[in-house]
Amino acid sequence: MHRTKIKVAEDALDANQTIARANRDDFDREGVRVVNLMSAPGAGKTTLLEASLSDLGDVRVGVLEGDVQGSMDADRIAGLHIPVVQLNTHNGFGGECHLDANMVRSAIPDLDLSAIDLLVIENIGNLVCPAEFRVGEDVRAMITSVTEGEDKPLKYPLMFRACELVVVNKVDLLPHLDFDVDRLLANIETVNPGAQTMLVSAKTGEGVAEFRDWLSGVPSRAGAVA
């Protein structure tokens, strides 16, 4: 006697999850590890990438730039002679405030995956919605800058919780701010116990080597859930 097979449809019905898995399959096939990098607008994603990507040793890196519109950040990355693809949500994706798996999928044909080992996806500057959409990445990292206030992990917990790494940027400005780094780190620990943190200044270079090492060592989660 055959039993009826009951497919648990929950995951399958989530189109974003389905497409994220397809992206992962493509990345895995080419041995490309993928970082989804997120932050509020102006926290310093592009500046940190400029400071770190040009010296990754043997690791061949590519960048997917997410923006509502324009290509200012992609142009900056291209200036480093790093392959970069601009993905705008303004045209075709309703000006969305985040990247999702389908948008990333639309850009994959423009990426030569065989020519890179590491893909950094620079998400749209936003502390809310990007955390809700897996895009097929291995790891998620975020930047919070010390000019944004120590309270941000408590106000945007989903974002801080979603990320394996929280980079604390603009530490060169600490002498000029009323900012308690320990309080920020405690707030991060509250919402995401055990999260890795890193104090950096993309401007002065402080801590950038540590971020570079982290990028070089991003583990592949091949086969893991996208």
**Least distance CB 46 / its own copies (angstroms):** 9
**Number of shown-chain residues binding its own copies (CB under 8 A):** 37
Could you say whether residue 176 binds its own copies (CB under 8 A)? Answer: yes
Question: Read out DSSP for 28-44?
Answer: HHTT-EEEEEEESTTSS
Establish if 151 lies at the interface with its own copies (CB under 8 A): yes
Is residue 157 within the footprint of its own copies (CB under 8 A)?
yes
Q: Is the Cβ of residue 106 or residue 190 nearer to its own copies in the bound state?
A: 190
Residue 27 vs 179, nearer CB to its own copies: 179
Q: How far is residue 30 CA from its own chain's centroid?
A: 19
Return the number of other C-beta atoms located less than 10 Å from residue 161's C-beta: 14
Edge-to-edge strand order for the sheet containing 196-199?
A: 84-88, 61-67, 118-122, 33-39, 139-145, 165-169, 196-199
Nearest distance, CB of residue 98 and its own copies, angstroms: 8
Residue 122 binds its own copies (CB under 8 A): no
156 binds its own copies (CB under 8 A): yes
Dihedral angle of Cα 69, 70, 71, 73, to the nearest 10 degrees? -80
Nearer to its own copies, 122 or 138 (CB): 122
Residues numbered 11-40 forming contacts with its own copies, rule: CB under 8 A: 40
The dihedral sign for the CA sequence 64, 77, 139, 112: positive
> 3-state class of 53 per DSSP?
helix
**Secondary-structure percent of the chain, ordered helix, strand, coil, rounded to 5:** 40, 20, 40
Coil, strand or helix at 12:
helix
Measured distance CA(50)–CA(60) in Å, rounded: 15
Touching its own copies, residues 54-83 (CB under 8 A): 67-70, 72-73
Toward its own copies, which CB reaches closer, 29 or 183? 183
Contact region with its own copies (CB under 8 A), list: 9-17, 133-141, 149-157, 217-225: 149-157
List residues near its own copies by CB under 8 A: 40-42, 67-70, 72-73, 95-97, 124-129, 132, 145, 147-149, 151-152, 154-158, 170, 172-173, 176-178, 203
